[in-house]
Amino acid sequence: MDLRLKECRFIDAFSVRIFVIYHFGHRSAWVGRLNTTPKPFYWERPGKTLSTIIDGKAFSANLRSEIARKIALLKQNHSLTPGLAVVLVGEDPASQVYVRSKGKQTTEAGMNSYEHKLSAETSQEDLLQLIDQLNSDPDVHGILVQLPLPEHIDESLVINSVAAEKDVDGFHLSNVGKLATGAEGIVPCTPLGSMMMLKHHLGDLSGKKAIVVGRSNIVGKPMAALLLKESCTVTIAHSRTRDLPAECREADIVIAAVGRPEMVKGDWIKPGATVIDVGINRIEKDDGGTRLVGDVEFETASAVAGAITPVPGGVGPMTIACLLHNTLQQACRINGIEVPE
Ligand code: NDP
């Protein structure tokens, strides 16, 4: 699968230059500049390295519009409209927000969106029955069961009850196996989005040293498999890793997927390395409000890294865009059609 976008333009949302000045110490200042040209933007610190900010928001907007263009071609040439069914069990507020956003972006791309909202008391049997119906519904090409599920439901059983050819999360064991063996299959959305940005920024990854901090099934392990597929030399770190800062300092590529706010510091980063921050953590501010931060301490890491994804606005927006990408892939595969160019 070609993970590279043919074209990715990093465009300032307001089509003007925005200057953000961060006062640092008494006189020196950080200046973040968002270019209007199709380039990433840079954090500039006089006399220090320039760190490219990998703009996931712009990247995902570009990917989504590419997908919408391909869907229009599918409709025109094959009378096929991909359909994505999202199943939400329970009333978890964060999950509700994700599901709403997925539905909106699905229809904006020109696909059909089917939402199934079930109460937290739904039995496992009823959920499996719904999945069965969706598996045999010809209008549904992708099925996503929003995680986490209530405790009385066996998550793994549910994930593997979704037909492998309608799995758009890449969590089905058949797709996990394909990724592990380097075969073509559906790749989990967050690692896929991270890899798209990495390849767009770095080009050939072959021979680069990469570290993935985190070994979860949904991010860390598939990310490591993708890096290996690109011929990186991959280290997978986790909570038992000894001297994690030293391991990170060896890496040309650092992927942080830990779930610990700002754990990875600037002095863990090799100068010029590319940093992909997958983490999304909400922390309290001094004024009692909250803000989102990643697993990387952006301020210190961006002074050392060659390129870095911000939080928010980095990996996050790519996840839903990749969900749409996977749904398009599955709709074409099910119907024996090449994905339009
Ligand atoms: P998990 O909690 O499933 O896994 C966290 C991993 O980090 C584990 O492998 C754990 O190690 C490791 N870890 C925990 N503490 C340390 C430590 N002190 N040192 C080294 N490793 C450590 O998290 P996820 O993979 O699901 O998510 C990771 C982050 O990514 C979270 O912030 C999450 O919110 C975010 N996320 C973002 C997405 C997006 O769309 N951008 C999508 C999915 C997740 P061990 O296995 O030994 O316990």
Question: What homologous superfamily does CATH list for 18-54+187-314?
Answer: NAD(P)-binding Rossmann-like Domain (3.40.50.720)
Closest CA to 196 of 5, 17, 55, 10: 5
Higher pLDDT, 43 or 261: 261
Confidence band (pLDDT; 50, 70, 90) for 31? very low
Whole-number pLDDT of residue 23:
29
Catalytic residue among 70, 105, 146, 329: 146
146 given a catalytic annotation: yes
Domain pair 18-54+187-314 / 69-167+319-334, same fold: yes
Is it the case that residue 32 has pLDDT exceeding 70? no
Domain ranges of the chain: 18-54+187-314, 69-167+319-334
Ligand 1 centroid – CA 258 distance (Å): 3
Confidence band (pLDDT; 50, 70, 90) for 29? very low
Distance CA 169, CA 240 (A): 28
Confidence band (pLDDT; 50, 70, 90) for 48? low
102 given a catalytic annotation: yes
Whole-number pLDDT of residue 40:
53
Residues in the chain: 341
248 in helix, strand or coil? helix
Ligand 1 centroid – CA 219 distance (Å): 8
Whole-number percent of the chain with pLDDT over 90: 84
Q: What is the mean pLDDT of residues 37-47?
A: 48
Catalytic residue among 167, 169, 252, 295: 169
Mean per-residue pLDDT over the chain, rounded: 88
Encode burial over 129-164: b for 16+ CB neighbours within 10 A, e otherwise: ebbeebbeeeebbbbbbbeebbeebeeeebbbbbbb
267 given a catalytic annotation: no
Write the pLDDT tens digit of every residue in 141-164. 999 999 999 999 999 999 999 999
Distance CA 276, CA 209 (A): 14
Q: Which of 239, 241, 297 to mutate to test the pocket of ligand 1 (most atoms within 8 A of CB)?
A: 239
Write the pLDDT tens digit of every residue in 171-227. 999 999 999 999 999 999 999 999 999 999 999 999 999 999 999 999 999 999 999
Closest CA to 145 of 153, 314, 137, 67: 153
Q: Which of 280, 298, 311, 319 to mutate to test the pocket of ligand 1 (most atoms within 8 A of CB)?
A: 280
Whole-number pLDDT of residue 39:
45
Answer yes or no: are the C-beta atoms of 36 and 12 closer than 8 Å.
yes
Is it the case that residue 5 has pLDDT exceeding 60? no
Confidence band (pLDDT; 50, 70, 90) for 42? low
Answer yes or no: are the C-beta atoms of 273 and 242 closer than 8 Å.
no
* Fold assignment, 69-167+319-334: Rossmann fold (3.40.50)
Ligand 1 centroid – CA 319 distance (Å): 16
Task: Please give all residues whose beta carbon lies within 6 A of any atom in ligand 1, as ranges.
Answer: 190, 213-216, 218-220, 237-241, 244, 257-260, 278-281, 295, 315-316, 319
Write the pLDDT tens digit of every residue in 13-27. 333 233 332 323 322
Is it the case that residue 71 has pLDDT exceeding 60? yes
Write the pLDDT tens digit of every residue in 289-316. 999 999 999 999 999 999 999 999 999 9
Whole-number pLDDT of residue 61:
97
Q: Whose CA is closest to atom 15 on ligand 1?
A: 239
Counting from 1 in the atom list of ligand 1, the atom nearest the Cα of 241 is 20
